[in-house]
Amino acid sequence: MINVANLSVSIGERNLLSDVSFVARPGEVTGLIGPNGAGKSTLLAAIAGDIDYTGSVSLVGQDPAVSSPGALARARAVMLQDVTVSFQFLVRDVVAMGRRPWEGTARQAEDDAIIDAALAAVDATHLAGRDIATLSGGERARVALARVLAQQTPVILLDEPTAALDIRHQEQVLGLVRSIAAQAGVAVLVVLHDLGAAAAYCDHIVCLADGAVAAAGPVREVYTDEILSQVYRWPIQVSKADGHISVHPARCQVADPEQSFVDLLKES
């Protein structure tokens, strides 16, 4: 379980997060949504124990602010937006890094089987012998997720895991995350910009705006025209029919000014 209470983050006099509170339960996927600059990645970093904060965070009973690196690595696995690897490693070696927290324990004997399973789960078995630096952005993202899965923790924190993926792999990855949460009892907190994907694959939603929780609860309660339009500062319609939720933002009208931007570029 992830239990966050009155969490705040500041840099100098600037408040990045203010009194954020919510619970993400085992066996469920909790989606973290909100506009750019709302504080989603900052919140994920605070929960992971990577930045200082005030308030309290509990990851399956552990306080990340005071936990040892080893204990924290066995409690939570993190996938960041930037999945760049600084050195040349084979893909399989990168996934194997997820097993380091279990080195010297009885679970180390499972390493090879778990690495193989993690690669297969993200459709990356064929990449195992490749240099990570030669992969596309989407392939690297899938390998990063495999490393997270190989870590086998009760809490998983994902920051836009589908941002670099094509539509097939987006659906596969989010379906996999949902299955792992439900079948293994893992508490998953995932940052998503795709509101439709969040509605389809998340059990609960925490919606951030200006560093604070604007709404939180089951998807059907948070996904309303009023809440989403206010948070994103843009007209949004939500349809709820036949058990499915779809999100429809208002489309921009293409203007026809007297002198177009293209004309201005030609003159410069």
Q: Phi then psi for 108, rounded to 5 degrees?
A: -65, -30
pTM to 2 decimals?
0.91
Contacts of 257 (CB under 8 A, 6+ apart): none
Q: Which domains does the chain have, with CATH numbers?
A: 2-222 (3.40.50.300)
The CB density around residue 39, as the number of other CB atoms within 10 Å, is 22
Type of residue numbered 100: R
Question: DSSP readout, 195-219?
Answer: HHHHHHH-SEEEEEETTEEEEEEEH
How do the pLDDT tens digits run along the chain, 268 residues long?
A: 999 999 999 998 899 999 999 999 999 999 999 999 999 999 999 999 999 999 999 999 999 999 999 999 999 999 987 766 667 899 999 999 999 999 999 999 999 999 999 999 999 999 999 999 999 888 988 999 999 999 999 999 999 999 888 999 999 999 999 999 999 999 999 999 999 999 999 999 999 999 999 999 999 999 999 999 999 999 999 999 888 999 999 988 766 655 566 676 666 5
Contacts of 262 (CB under 8 A, 6+ apart): none
